[in-house]
Amino acid sequence: MRKLLLLLSIAAAASAFGDSPIFTSRATLPSLNGEQIYAHICQGCHMPGGQGAVGAGYYPKLAADKNFVSWQFVASTVLKGRNGMPPFGYPSNQDINSGPAHLTDAQIADVVNYVRSHFGNTYKAQVTAQQVAALPHPAAETIGPQ
Amino acid sequence: MENGEGSISLSRRQLLHMIGTTAGAAAMYQAMSSLGLAAESPYKGPIDLQGAPRNASVLILGAGMAGLTAAYELRNAGYKVQVLEYNARPGGRNWTLRGGDRYTELGGLTQQCEFDKDLYINPGPWRIPYHHHGMMHYTKLLGIALEPFFQVNYNAYLHSSRAFGGKPQRFREVKADYQGHVAELLAKATRQNALDAAVSTEDKQILLESLRHWGALDKNYTYSPSEQVSDRRGFAKNRGGGLSGRPVQSDPVALHDLLDSGLWSGIASGDVFDMQTALFQPADGMGRIGEAFGRELGTLIRYNAKVTDIHQDERGVTVTYVGSQESGAPQTARADWCLCTIPLPILAQIPMNVSQAMASAISAVPSAPAFKAGLQFKRRFWEEDEQIYGGITYTDLPIMNIGYPNTGFQSRGKGVLLGAYIWGLRAMEFTAMPPQERVQRVVDYGSQIHPQYHQEFENGVAVAWHRAPFALGCFGMWSTETRAKHYEDLCQIEGRIALAGEHASFLGGWQEGAVTSSLDAIGRIHHRAVALGEKA
């Protein structure tokens, strides 16, 4: 019954992000692919199309970023965060409502492959979950919100 | 034990009386703090910056609570003060959106706040607990009227979309039932001697009596429908007068249903130290504090200034800035000292010659995602239909919180409530949507709790903190690991530069963190300046 309700609510919510569920949950987050992760999470800051944004500080434009030549740079940034960007490589036992979001190594590989092959980036090499797993991950535990 | 405490408190009282009569209230407060009676916040009363060297100057970056506090105190102490602020207004995250305001987020999307006159939403901080003494001090000093903030409202809801058919439950019912069932279980275990190893024979009777009292149990230590139980969880029909006034008792929810619902997780919402009664909100919006500081400081603050470079040498600090829209030729400001309150994600991108240790610390603190939406409705249906006056409803829906206005009770006409206050992953998802879709989704989800939403909704605004051009996030998220490795490096004075802000505190995300970190930093700058004397 619960499963059915969950499926119904996901179906009702699907719209602007194409066929992906609008609100991730413990149950649905692990099923998102690289493109969906970009649409649900990354574009909040890096903007649709990877345009980036400028205010008192800036969010880097993902197109033609020379750092993208290194998949390790991109994967490590997603895993550990950078300059205020939250880490996504924490262990999976985090509270989805308040703690940082957790992506699996396979998802991180997928989102790395997505951003390195879109927005004008044309890196062909496919990163694997095993390659991501070999990079340093952040330790568990962080402080919740107020 | 009781006697022991009694004699200590008596001698304390005598001591405090003596201090109070001989040295005045300020000294008494200090003494109380040092005795641990009022020591909730590191705030130690008005800062003493006597003896500022002549012509010594401080450049402050950022006009949020940290920068404004520093500017106010340093100016009063005789320092030459300048403040550079990116926004066109003072306050930073101390901010209120009112009818008529426009807000442009990163990426250029602009929202027009269409609330009626006098209605508002606080997109950032919205409450001040009584023990945030620094905030209490400055609101008093600035003549800011405070109103009660109802952290806990027994008649607001705890809601799970997966329990009780999605019907919201009153906080009062969940709390009374949870407490009653737990008391009954514990009484049962006690009477079956299961706790004998932990509870002495004398304590056992007291424990049982206290459980009956705490859980509203009957004489057999069971939690079952009674006048007493309804007096906790509410009556099915309330007591009244005359022939129609006979009450009807209500029935508790079964323990299993309560446990399975997960609603127990909302019971302790007001037990966290920073959420304990009394809490306050500034009348007319949190932003009134920043505005009052701004009026006080006047032309000392230069608005629309985007810092692009911070460079120190042995004698001072030179800061380069341009217009907020990257307009105009670069200009410079210089002072003997610099207090930098720029949020870390932004500061991490600005060239600044400090040690590798401090630079690493600046880059080590991720920014917490957060999202708030304010919704205007044609009438205050939460009061009129549901008797919810202020306080917060908690839900497992993506909106997470509904905050009811803690002011203007029973006023006719329109009302604005906080339709969502979201953290974590879901805040990221709301951030990734265009503002109009965010508001629409908040309305859709909220209507599962308040069916009146669709009928009564008029307009709304949505603030996603990672899109705030002046903040790039809500607050600095320290972990135990990063705190141990970087916190002290972040808070050191390096040459002529010190940092302040909520990110440089143990009160992350709280204005009190900004104020106390600021006072801590300027106290240390002052010491150094005094030590250097006229040479500064």
Distance from CA of A24 to the nearest CA of B (A): 7
* Average pLDDT, integer, range A61-78: 93
Q: How far is A128 from chain B (nearest CA, A)?
A: 24
Asked if residues B71 and B83 have their Cβ atoms less than 8 Å apart, the reply is: yes
Bridge partners of residue B535, in order along the sequence: none
CA-CA distance, B281 to A24, in Å (whole number)? 33
Question: Given B106, B306, B369, which is nearest A86 (Cβ)?
Answer: B369
Residue of chain A nearest B361, judged by CA positions: A83
pLDDT computed for residue B2 by the predictor? 33
In the predicted model, what is the mean pLDDT of residues A60-86? 93
Smallest CA–CA distance from A141 into chain B, residue: B479
Calculate how close chain A gets to B422, using CA atoms only, in Å: 8
Is A145 close to B363, i.e. CB distance below 8 A? no
Chain B residues touching A35 at Cβ < 8 A: none
Of A53, A56, A143, the CB nearest to B479: A143
Q: What is the interface pTM, i.e. ipTM, of the complex?
A: 0.85
Residue A36 has pLDDT above 60, yes or no: yes
Give contacts of A 102-131 with B, CB under 8 A. Answer: none
Q: How far apart are CA B228 and CA B226, in angstroms?
A: 5
Name which of A38, A42, A146 to mutate to probe chain B: the one with the most chain B Cβ atoms within 10 A of its Cβ.
A146
Confidence of residue A106 (pLDDT cuts 50, 70, 90): very high
Which string of DSSP letters, residue by residue, matches B296-314? HHGGGEE-SEEEEEEEE-S
Interface touch A139/B479, C-beta < 8 Å = yes
Is A85 near chain B, with CB under 8 Å? yes
- Which of A56, A98, A143 is opposite residue B86, by nearest beta carbon? A56
The Cα B369–Cα B347 span in angstroms is 18
Residues of B in contact with A85 (CB under 8 A): 345, 366-367
Closest-CA residue of A relative to B162 is A2
Looking at beta carbons, which residues of chain B come within 8 Å of A5?
161-162
Q: Do the chains contact at A139 and B431, CB–CB below 8 Å?
A: no
Closest CA to B291 of B46, B68, B66: B68
B395 has which bridge partners? B159
Say if residue A20's pLDDT is above 70.
no
Please tell me the distance from the alpha carbon of residue B224 to that of residue B208, in angstroms, as a whole number.
17
User: Inter-chain contact A44–B369, Cβ cutoff 8 Å?
Assistant: yes
CA–CA separation, B331 vs B177, rounded Å? 64
Can you give the pLDDT at residue B533? 84
User: Which positions in chain A touch B370 (Cβ < 8 Å)?
Assistant: 145
pLDDT-flagged residues of chain B (< 50): 1-39, 536
Determine, for residues B307 and A56 on separate chains, whether the beta-carbon distance falls below 8 Å. yes
Contact between chains at A51 and B107 (C-beta distance less than 8 A)? yes
Which residues 8-67 of A have a C-beta within 8 angstroms of B? 9, 16, 22-24, 29, 39-45, 47, 51, 53-59
Record the pTM: 0.89
**Which residues of A are less than 8 Å from B369 in CB distance?**
44, 86
Q: Work out the minimum CA distance from B157 to partner chain A, whole angstroms.
A: 18
Option in A23, A56, A85 nearest B426 (CB)? A23
Closest chain B C-alpha to A130 CA, distance in angstroms: 25
- As a 3-state breakdown, chain B gives helix, strand, coil percent values, each rounded to 5, of 40, 20, 40
Q: Please, what is the end-to-end C-alpha distance for chain A in angstroms? A: 34
Residue of B nearest to A54 (CA): B106
**Secondary structure class of B419 (helix, strand, coil):** strand
How many CB pairs (< 8 A) connect A and B? 147
Give the number of C-alpha atoms closer than 13 A to the C-alpha of residue B468, restricted to the C-beta side: 28
Neighbours of A26 (CB within 10 A): 13
CB contact under 8 A, B367 and A86: yes
Task: Check CB contact of A86 with chain B, cutoff 8 Å.
Answer: yes
| Residue A22: band (very low, low, confident or very high) from pLDDT cuts 50, 70, 90 | low
pLDDT of the residue at B287: 98
Shortest distance between the Cα of A126 and any Cα of chain B, in A, equals 26
Residue A142 has its nearest CB partner, among B437, B441, B477, at B477
pLDDT of residue A9 exceeding 80? no
Q: Using the beta-carbon criterion (under 8 Å), do B423 and A54 form an inter-chain contact?
A: no
* List of E strands, B34-114: 57-61, 80-84, 97-98, 102-104, 110-112
Whether residue A84 and residue B306 make contact (CB cut-off 8 A), yes or no, is no
**Interchain CB distance below 8 Å, A84 and B367:** yes
Question: Does residue A19 register a pLDDT over 80?
Answer: no
Token pair of B69 as six digits: 């506090």
The answer, for A92 touching chain B at a CB cutoff of 8 Å, is no
Q: How confident is the model at residue A100 (pLDDT cuts 50, 70, 90)?
A: low
Q: Are B346 and A56 spatial neighbours (Cβ–Cβ below 8 Å)?
A: yes
- Residue of chain B whose alpha carbon sits nearest to that of A4: B162
Whether the upstream peptide bond of residue B278 has omega within 30° of 0, thus cis, is yes
| Backbone Cα Rg of chain A | 16
What number of residues does chain A have? 146
Local structure of A31: helix, strand or coil: helix
- Environment class of A140 (CB within 10 Å of its CB; exposed 0-12, middle 13-18, buried 19+): middle
